[in-house]
Amino acid sequence: MRFNKIELEALAVQPSHRFDREGVLFIRERQDGFFRRNEGPDYISEKDKRKSNRLSCVGAGSKVLQGRWCRLRGNLLFYLRDAEPWSEAAGLLVLENCTASEEPLDASGLWPFSLTYEGGMSQRMAAATENDRTSWLKALQSASYKCMRTKLHNLQAQIQNHSKGNSASRTLELKIWRNKKVTSVDLYETPLCEVCMNCDNLLCDGHGRPPSVFIELRVLTSGLWIKYGRTEIIQRSSNPCFLSTINLYSSDGLDVSTKLQFTVFDIYERMSNTATFLGSSTVVLGNIMEATKVRIPLKCSSGSTCGFITISVTIPEVEHRTPGSPAISAPVQTAIHHRRSHSLPPRLIRKQFFPSQAQLQTLFSNACLHTYRMHSGLGGEICAVEIMLESKLCFALPQQLLNLWIEHEKELLQEVSAMGELGGAWRNPQIQLLDRHLHLLQKYSQAKQHLQLQLQKSTDNTTLHYKPSSTKYEPSLEFAPTNLHLQRMWAHNDTLGRAAINDIVTVGAFASHCNSTKTGGLVCLVQQLKQLPEKDLDNACKVDAANNAIQAIKQLRRQLVDCMIQLLALAKTKQSSGMMPLCEDMINRSKSLLTIWDAGFVEEALRFIDAQKVVPDKMSENDSGFIEAKLPSELSPFRRITQQFDNLEIASPDLEDFSSPHLPSKKWPSSTEMVQQSNLTFNETHFDINGSIDKVSTNKQCQMISKSSVDSVLSSPASNYYKPTEEPEPWDLTQLNIEASIMCLVSKVKFLCGRCGSPAIRLKTQRQSTRMRLANSKNDKDSNGLTETTTPKPAIRGNKFTDGLDLSTTNDWVGELRPSMRKLRQAMDGYLKTARLTHSVFRLQQNTRAARKSASLQLRRDICFSQALTALVTGICARVWGGPIDNDFMLVLSTIGAFASFEGLLTLHGSELDMWGDMIVAIEDLTTVTFRLEGVQSMKLGGVMPHITGSRNGLTVTIPVPNHTISKQPVTFKVTPVFFNVGINEKVPLAEALGQNVQQRKSNLDNYSRLVSYYQQYQKVSICPGAQNLVDKLKICLHNSSSKNVEILHLAGDICRSMRGFRFTSCKSAKDRTGMSVTLEQCRILSQDFHLSSQEFPKALNAMRSQGCRIDNTYKNINVRKYAFNSLQVLALPLAYRPPVGTYGSLQT
């Protein structure tokens, strides 16, 4: 035990009523009060005495019983220097692990007893009378912590037993009460009233010190007392004014007849929240609502008055209009009053302006709400409402990303399996490549299943819509962001006539916590990948280029198919006016398609496959049942893996099971099925020019083709990959078929439009000699002109594709166009198949070690990107669903895109160094995402949920918004993200000593350049007063090398709000340091925009941190209402980031 002399001396001289027992005891000791060993009973021999470890008080020559004034408080027994109660403290005995017992009478005439500790140490004492000894023994025996805890449990059991028979004496927490009623805070509900509380004339203690108090409000409903709310703690004040207020709701069963009990407690010790009852008052809600302000006495347990409490009630007035931007304050239509100063009396009638939250609860739930009333510098009053909500996107959005990545891994698996089984030196690399893709596929599928299970639990209100910080190391939930919440503050100043909303998304660091390396995270991993040998780097670049080209081919193929669908729709109604523009569009897209891929790459890949491919056995090739009948051990590794992949194909993406593959499915459809799929795409349909479907009930033969059916055909294996036994089509022949199909289709459209005299178009002029030889070797003539390449003939005037056709006798326009369209789609499929085959060869030829690193890097990058994108979409949804959007903001979005400011509080040391590196790359990847706002079609959860399409190289997030928010045309934009990080904890000096802050400074400067670039564009679109000064100050701060320079974060936040950007704050788990940062930013906004007085600033800051939403966030994550700081960590924080005393001490994270 560490003896803290000053605190213990102060504790020993407390007033008498603070001690359990005090009086004179005779303590047997030496005059100097020290213990000496080997003192014991008389029968112990001298030899045993030398071996003994007994300790007792002995004198130099004789033992002395000296009378001392003793004071017992808990398990601490103080003894003073003499028998007078006002003497100084001399010593302390801790009554733990000891036993108090009687001793036999001696010649002194006193009544002795002893305290025997475990280990043999003994302290002998005596009382003047037998009654004193008996009472002291009883008090000492029950003073230990173990006895007090047992007594506490017994009392709790008695209270519980008593409460079972008397429901009026039971007390429940408000959260438990609402859970039993299956209700929660409804942001759309207007409260009955807002209760403000103040106290005056509270009694001081015996030394004249005023109490440290808080007020707890209890309401009596349904025969139960509910702990409805409480205020913050005001230190050492007999006349405390509380900033926290309490809203009363009718949904909790409250009405004008409800009894309210206001109980005042005195906090004795802040760290343990030890409090004693000071006084209480009970009133009826209807009485205070009529009077609006009452002052009633507080009655203590003895029935005497110990002070007074003033209760003020305000009736809400719903604010019908809230500003759309957190940066610009909008005036509220209220009655006009003269500006008051301190010399004028306060207004008698107080109003509560309750903010309208629009449709915020559409995508957010489980709100925590706290209200405050503060004084402005002009003597006015500031109303603040603090709200914290969970995002319903937390588990839903990562699932959509996982669906895309699962499909991509399936595509890569099918690409490799389409090569067939390779032999020689490439056998093992092919197996390893298949294994890597199977591992990623299993990883993504298992993560999706866990997220789906979590989402199902959250939809039935049994689980919350967020991932607690205590589960951030669970691999099953690593794709979901940690502790994702929306922090919203609505503030209103009646004197200024100003109201505004400020939104901050708080989220844990976008990091792969399960794969910590303490080397720098994704930033260092990406740099290491770039430092590969030149040959390996060239192969990696070739693979990336090939993958990008494949994505472009898929996009162009889909666009051409959409054009053909629209052509069929126009041909059905014989609307020739819109057909030629579509043909021009198809010609341009076809030219782009034919120039994407390099023929040299294709020839190189085909030569490689011809040289390395294993020739299949004829019997096994023709008899698939022979292969299926074999045991897995009898199959080659390639066939075992492809058979496992075949089994994956028979299950839907939502029901994949990798543990028990039994029945293989037909991976490649039969020729009949392929013809049916091809015919399905181009049967007679009826579309308008924009591609929307018109239902035609008169023609029963018209088969309606939906977008999903077209997607299923285009994504089928037969349309994307060769069979393992199929011979690839020559590349030049594939290009010829595309060109000939387009020429034939366009010529027929011109004929149908009455322009049959125009010559046939040419997509390319000269072909390579290889192509000509391949073309001349095939003399199969086709009526559609697919491969008809004979010896050159003199050019004749006219169009060979339409010779013999008569427009007057042609009635079926669709029948004329459909064959050419079918041939064009088949040619594009062959083009994509060959490109995929080439891509698989490039991936196989990669260095195995580099490919393994690349796969691990991609997995880590996907994890971090999933968290970052979910947080960003949450911020955007909060803006578009949480309030009206003005035209200026929509103009900025459609012109230069949105601005997002990410604030980091990570220290570049240990595991947080990895988090910092992961966040940099994850935020950088957000620049590749395109966002699209469109009107909502259905207000059900599925109709308002954002939808993700595309691939890793180019994702598109479609966000449904209220129809009144945007015009009929969707708004498409990108986001410019910036990330400023400043470490503030106790490890910052160590990181600076190791030179890690150099990386942080460079990253902050790079993000500053991006911010300046966006700001220069923003100036051309909208007005941003005062932002230039902030940008200049930020530049100066960034070049200042001072430690823990949090001014960088403050300025970045101010600039973001001035440009109507989205704000995000992160630390390791978005709980402790994030809570300090968010509350500080809210108070800074109240000070800058709403004139919060400087005297009220620290009070408001402490109130928000001790009784606001952020302390609720700690309870939601770790079930403890304390921030995870110890005393040393608090001292290491910047002064403005330190929590109030009593709100920290938990070691859980």
Lowest mean pLDDT among 276-280, 527-531, 678-682, 1109-1113: 678-682
Let me know if residue 273 belongs to a domain: yes
Structural tokens at position 194: 């807002």
Q: Does residue 25 carry a pLDDT above 50?
A: yes
Let me know if residue 133 belongs to a domain: yes
* pLDDT given at position 1021: 92
* pLDDT given at position 761: 58
In whole angstroms, what is the distance from residue 155 CA to residue 161 CA? 10
- 8 A C-beta contact, residue 1054 and residue 1026: no
Helix, strand, coil shares of the chain as percentages rounded to 5? 45, 20, 35
- 8 A C-beta contact, residue 986 and residue 1128: yes
Q: Does residue 97 carry a pLDDT above 50?
A: yes
pLDDT band at 769 (very low <50, low <70, confident <90, very high): very low
Task: Give per-residue pLDDT as tens, 827-853.
Answer: 999 999 999 999 999 999 888 888 898
**The domain spanning residue 190 has which CATH number?**
2.60.40.150
Q: 838: closest CA among 552, 607, 538?
A: 607
Tell which wins on pLDDT, 89 or 59.
Answer: 89
**Scanning the structure block, which residue is given the tokens 């960003």?**
872
Q: Does residue 21 carry a pLDDT above 60?
A: yes
Tell which wins on pLDDT, 12 or 332.
Answer: 12
CA distances from 4 to 8, 74, 1141 (A): 6, 17, 19
Q: Does residue 57 carry a pLDDT above 90?
A: no
Q: What's the number of domains the chain is made of?
A: 4
Could you tell me if 821 and 885 lie in one domain? no
Q: Does residue 903 carry a pLDDT above 90?
A: yes
Eight-state DSSP code of residue 230: E
Could you tell me if 288 and 432 lie in one domain? no
* pLDDT given at position 115: 92
* pLDDT given at position 156: 83
* Residue numbers of the domain that contains 494: 390-394+465-532+851-1119
Could you tell me if 943 and 872 lie in one domain? yes
Could you tell me if 1053 and 968 lie in one domain? yes
CA atoms within 13 A on the CB side of 1102: 16
In whole angstroms, what is the distance from residue 808 CA to residue 798 CA? 18
Q: At which of 254, 286, 315 does a domain end? A: 315
Let me know if residue 751 belongs to a domain: yes
Tell which wins on pLDDT, 993 or 815.
Answer: 993
Could you tell me if 884 and 825 lie in one domain? no
Let me know if residue 689 belongs to a domain: yes
Q: Does residue 940 carry a pLDDT above 80?
A: no
Which whole number is the average pLDDT over 1044-1068?
97
Let me know if residue 258 belongs to a domain: yes
Q: At which of 97, 114, 149 does a domain end? A: 149
Residues in contact with 595: Cβ distance below 8 Å, sequence separation at least 6, in sequence order: none
Which whole number is the average pLDDT over 3-18?
83
Beta strands in 6-106 (DSSP E): 21-29, 35-37, 55-57, 64-73, 76-80, 89-94, 98-102
* pLDDT given at position 293: 92
pLDDT band at 614 (very low <50, low <70, confident <90, very high): confident
Could you tell me if 74 and 201 lie in one domain? no
Let me know if residue 145 belongs to a domain: yes
Could you tell me if 878 and 1027 lie in one domain? yes
Pairing of strands 1062-1066, 898-904: parallel
- Per-residue HEC secondary structure of 423-440 comes to CHHHHHHHHHHHHHHHHH
Which whole number is the average pLDDT over 1136-1140?
96
In whole angstroms, what is the distance from residue 565 CA to residue 585 CA? 13
Eight-state DSSP code of residue 976: E
* pLDDT given at position 323: 42
Tell which wins on pLDDT, 490 or 315.
Answer: 490
Q: Does residue 789 carry a pLDDT above 50?
A: no
**The domain spanning residue 49 has which CATH number?**
2.30.29.30
Taking CB atoms within 8 Å and a gap of at least 24, the contacts of 249-253 are 249/186, 249/189, 249/191, 249/192, 250/189, 250/192, 251/183, 251/186, 251/189, 252/174, 252/177, 252/178, 252/183, 252/219, 252/221, 252/226, 252/228, 253/221, 253/222
Could you tell me if 765 and 885 lie in one domain? no
Could you tell me if 565 and 496 lie in one domain? no
Task: Give per-residue pLDDT as tens, 166-214.
Answer: 655 568 888 888 888 878 888 888 899 999 999 999 998 877 889 999 9
Residues in contact with 1041: Cβ distance below 8 Å, sequence separation at least 6, in sequence order: 1001
In whole angstroms, what is the distance from residue 768 CA to residue 775 CA? 11
Element (H, E) at 1001: helix 997-1021
CA distances from 1072 to 494, 867, 954, 1066, 1078 (A): 33, 19, 35, 10, 10
Which whole number is the average pLDDT over 230-245?
95
Q: What is the DSSP string of 580-633?
A: HHHHHHHHHHHHHHHTTS-HHHHHHHHHHHHHHBPPPPHHHHH-HHHHHTS-GG
pLDDT band at 952 (very low <50, low <70, confident <90, very high): confident
In whole angstroms, what is the distance from residue 1134 CA to residue 1116 CA? 26
Which whole number is the average pLDDT over 145-153?
89
Task: Give per-residue pLDDT as tens, 64-73.
Answer: 788 999 999 9
Lowest mean pLDDT among 660-674, 786-800, 943-957: 660-674
Q: At which of 846, 864, 882 does a domain end? A: 846
* pLDDT given at position 709: 62
Task: Give per-residue pLDDT as tens, 620-645.
Answer: 444 445 445 555 555 667 776 666 65
- 8 A C-beta contact, residue 202 and residue 238: yes
Tell which wins on pLDDT, 381 or 661.
Answer: 381
In whole angstroms, what is the distance from residue 76 CA to residue 595 CA? 88
Angle, CA of 1045, 1051 and 1053, to the nearest 5°: 115
> What percent of the chain is predicted at pLDDT more than 90?
47
Could you tell me if 1104 and 1043 lie in one domain? yes
| Coil/strand/helix, residue 789 | coil
* pLDDT given at position 600: 86
Q: 799: closest CA among 755, 837, 742, 765?
A: 755
How many of the other CB atoms lie within 10 Å of CB of 833?
Answer: 23
Q: Does residue 338 carry a pLDDT above 50?
A: no
* pLDDT given at position 682: 38
Computed over every residue of the chain, the mean pLDDT equals 81
Length of the chain: 1149
* pLDDT given at position 3: 56
Could you tell me if 102 and 179 lie in one domain? no
Could you tell me if 119 and 181 lie in one domain? no
Let me know if residue 503 belongs to a domain: yes
* pLDDT given at position 541: 82
- 8 A C-beta contact, residue 168 and residue 207: no
Let me know if residue 36 belongs to a domain: yes
* pLDDT given at position 40: 42
* pLDDT given at position 486: 97
Structural tokens at position 640: 């075992």
Which whole number is the average pLDDT over 600-614?
85
Tell which wins on pLDDT, 917 or 719.
Answer: 917
Tell which wins on pLDDT, 887 or 710.
Answer: 887
In whole angstroms, what is the distance from residue 933 CA to residue 966 CA? 8
- Helical segments of 423-533, H only: 427-459, 521-530
Q: Does residue 685 carry a pLDDT above 60?
A: no
